[in-house]
Each structure stands twice: as C-alpha cells, then as structure tokens.
Amino acid sequence: MDEADRQLLRRCRLRLVGELQVAELWDALLSRELFTRDMIEDIQRAGSGSRRDQARQLVTDLETRGRQALPLFISCLEDTGQGTLASFLRSSRQAAKQDPEAVKALDHLVPVVLGPMGLQSKGQRDLGNLTPVVVGPEELWPARLRPEVPEVLRPEVPRPVDIGSGRIQDVCAPGKNRGHADTAYALDSDPCGHCLIINNVNFCPSSGLSMRAGSNVDCEKLQRRFRWLRFLVEVKNDLTAKKMVTALREMAHRDHRALDCSVVVILSHGCQASHLQFPGAVYGTDGCSVSIEKIVNIFNGSGCPSLGGKPKLFFIQACGGEQKDRGFEVACMSSQGRAFDSDSEPDAVPYQEGPRALDQLDAVSSLPTPSDILVSYSTFPGFVSWRDKTSGSWYIETLDGVLEQWARSEDLQSLLLRVANAVSEKGIYKQIPGCFNFLRKKLFFKTS
C-alpha cells in the first residue's frame, strides 16, 4: 500500500472502527484474495473478539496487503451493502490524489466528539457510542468557552524538534509520549511489556561448544536495565534448542492486549545460517541451532495476534560467523575502549548446513510480511562477536551504558547508532553491531 492510502486509512480509522460491519466482509475479502482464511481467523481472534477489536485489527492489517488493497477493500464494502463507508473512502481517496496538501491540513484540526446532546464534557463522553467530527478549533466556540477535548484526542507535539541552530530542543516534559502518534509508538502501559532473556552458558560436552564465561554478567545487566525500562523480565538459563522454541512460543501465546511492546534477548553461541530476511542462528545447549528467522516468526501475526501493530524487539548476542575483523587504518582515528586481551573470546561456531541446522528449512518455508520488528545483532553477519570472560560482551556492556545515559531522550534507532559507533572503536580485533529494522515508527522507551 502506498503512503497516501496508508495515511488515509489512519485518518479514517475512528470512523471505520466505529461503523465497519466485519461479519459481512469475510467472504468478500476471501473472494477478492485480499486476505487468506488464516489471516481472517487471526483478525477474528484479535483482542476480545468483539466487532470493534476485529474492525481495528482489519484496518491495521489492510496496510500490509499491497498497492491495490484500498480500492479492493472499497469494492468489498460495496458488495456487502456498506455503501456509505465505501463512498466516504472513495471520495476521500480522490480528494487526496487531487490535492494532497489540503488533506494534510486535516492533521492540524482538532477532533471534537459530538453526541446526541451536542458537545459533551469529558466526564459525560462514551467514545464508543459517539461520532468523531473534525472541525477547526475556532469554528464552534470562542476560546474562553471552548470545551475541553479528551487528552487522547489532542494533537501531540513532535519530539524532539530542530530549533534552527543544528541543536535539538526537548519540548516535552519527561515521561510524556515523545513523538506524534503518527511518528512514534505509544509506550504508555505500565508495565510496558514482557522481556524474555535466554542465557545459554553451559553446553553439553557432545555439542563441542565451550562455556560462555561472562554471559551471566550480561544477563544481570539486562535484567536491571529492562526492569528500569518498565518491562516484566523473565530469565531462562541453559536451554536446549527445543526448549528455546518452547519458551518463545509460550511468551508469544500470552495475552499482550494491555501491553505496548515485547523484547526478546538471546545470549548464546551463534553461527551463519541460510536465510531469506534475518541472517544467523543461535545454539541451544544441546548443540542444535535455531535460526533467527524462526525466532522472529514465532511472534508474527498468526503466532502472536495480541502484539499486532506493536513493536517486537530482538537483541542477539552471538557470533554471526567465524571471521575475525582486524579493521582497516583510518587517519586520525584513536582506538577507544579496552584493548583486546587474553580474556576476550568469540561466540563463534562454524557455518552449518548439516544436522545442526535442522530448524532452517522451517524458518524459510513461509515468511510473513515483516512489520513492527527490529532485530539488533551484536555483530555483522559472518563475523565474530567478542565477549570478555569477566566483564561480559562488548555489545551488551555498551548497550546497557547507552540505554542508561540516553534512553530518556533518544529513540531506539539513535541509541543503536551510538552502540554501533562505540563498539566499533574497541580492541585490536573489530566488531560492528547492526540491525534489521522493520519498525514503522520511532520508539522511545518508557523511563519514568
């Protein structure tokens, strides 16, 4: 779906959720191949399964269904007797194409809720039964008599803003949502979400994998850090590949409806692996691998519908391969951080295409459209990730420090850039973290 149609859907979301008769749409959506039967079943299970929850999920999923999704959806509305909504969407779409700037101006208008008795006070409103009407702020009321607009409907001020001198000024009080609703995820719930940390330290002798000294230090740091970021943290130690998958599926099957985000952290040995989108694999303590793709796909729309449209974050501390990077010389570049020493060791295991890679065929056979996903890797695919036996891995140590110093004011992508830069300057051997980012908005952690 192109950006204009996506923005139109979001502007019309309130009305669609309020009026859409979803039960009559399923056959039409199937016949026009707009959704598969499995997708429709996922939508039907969304939230409490109420009409409003299903309508909300349908509108959200519609954004992922290709360039012709909106006109096909309008045709489905016409086929099922919902002509008023169809005409509303078609005329709005034509107006947006003819004059995009006029439609953008709607973003600056104030949504006012009208009910049977006209404009109602905040305490009297039942938003589920009222009709939102967008009007200019001066059209109905002089300033001194203007009724209070519900907090959830007020346009928010973007954060941060450029004040013209190259500096960034913070215009929001600490703890407030740091970004416009269209540009930043709302992480308002407390707790914010679940965080699962899988910490594999001791491996079976038959696996040929060494003990990961220093990983417990990483685990303790991240436990404290994500609790500080308002997550419910659960740690599972020394899991086989099968038990890793079981723990991840148990987390995905929880009810996340009241939460805003999820985090998965994997601390283990790793290797290269065949892939379509997300490279690499991590090892269970039995020496069998689980591909990153399989881990991510456990949390897709069918596996975890209650996280639909919400950010799902994955942090992988494991080698991406066996290559050791000595870097290249750069003029006037000073080496920062501690030097490489005998206490540093890699989390590398050779690339596997044999029995240990048993999960990879599962992982690549059917991939959903990725959205609201970010996978942060400790190192570039194919390269070693370094871990100190006493102070933990370079990546986790740096990530923890960056979150502590900057999470109150910067979004996740900016934080990860700081991590990548700091880690890249460490040691004789080099390492560069990176991420595969399929988030749709900026993400600011909840820090107060």
pLDDT per position as a tens digit, 291-328: 999 999 999 877 788 998 899 999 998 864 444 444 44
Active-site residue, selected from the candidate residues 194, 269, 275, 435: 269
Res 68 pLDDT > 60 = yes
The residues spanned by each domain of the chain are 3-106, 109-155, 193-438
- What pLDDT does residue 430 have? 65
pLDDT in tens, 87-128: 999 888 888 877 666 545 444 433 443 343 444 433 344 444
pLDDT at position 288, please?
Answer: 93
The pTM is what?
0.54
Q: Identify the active-site residue in 219, 288, 304, 319.
A: 319
Tell me what pLDDT residue 178 has.
Answer: 60
For residue 180, what pLDDT is reported?
59
Mean pLDDT of the chain: 74
What six digits make up the tokens of 410? Answer: 């910067």
In this predicted structure, the answer to whether residue 392 has a pLDDT above a threshold of 80 is yes
Residue 171: per-residue pLDDT:
36
pLDDT at residue 279 greater than cutoff 90: no
**Residue 208, pLDDT above cutoff 70:** yes
Q: Is 195 a catalytic residue?
A: no
Indicate if 253 belongs to the active site: no
Q: Answer with the residue of higher pLDDT: 276 or 445.
A: 445
SS3 per residue for the chain: CCHHHHHHHHHCHHHHHHHCCHHHCHHHHHHCCCCCHHHHHHHHCCCCCCHHHHHHHHHHHHCCCCCCHHHHHHHHHHHCCCHHHHHHHHHHHHHHHHCHHHHHHHHHCEEEEEECCEECCHHHCCCCCCEEEEECCCCCCCHHHCCCCCHHHCCCCCCCEECCCCCEECCCCCCCCCCCCCCECCCCCCCCEEEEEEECCCCCHHHCCCCCCCHHHHHHHHHHHHHHCCEEEEEEECCCHHHHHHHHHHHHCCCCCCCCEEEEEEECCEECCCCCCCCCEEECCCCCEEEHHHHHHCCCCCCCHHHCCCCEEEEEECCCCCECECCCCCCCCCCCCCCCCCCEEECECCCCCCHHHCCHHHHHHCCCCCCCEEEEECCCCCECCEEECCCEEHHHHHHHHHHHHHCCCCCHHHHHHHHHHHHHCCCCCECCCEEEEECCCECCCCCC
Return the ∠ at Cα 23 (arms to 20 and 28), rounded to 5°: 90
The mean-pLDDT minimum among 38-52, 158-172, 243-257, 408-422 falls in 158-172
Among 70-79, 159-168, 307-316, which is the least confidently predicted range? Answer: 159-168
pLDDT of residue 331: 42
pLDDT of 170 reads 39
Residue 276 has pLDDT above 60, yes or no: yes
Task: Answer yes or no: is pLDDT of 336 > 70.
Answer: no
For the ranges 78-92, 166-180, 208-222, 421-435, the lowest mean pLDDT is seen at 166-180
Tell me: pLDDT of 434 over 90.
no
Q: Which fold has domain 193-438?
A: Rossmann fold (3.40.50)
Of 131-135, 145-149, 173-177, minimum mean pLDDT range: 145-149
* pLDDT higher than threshold 50 for residue 369: no
Tell how strand 261-267 and strand 193-199 pair up: parallel
Q: What pLDDT, on a 0 to 100 scale, did the predictor assign at position 66? A: 82
pLDDT of residue 287: 92
Q: What CATH number has the domain spanning 3-106?
A: 1.10.533.10
Other CB atoms within 10 A of residue 105 CB = 11
Q: What's the pLDDT at 234?
A: 96
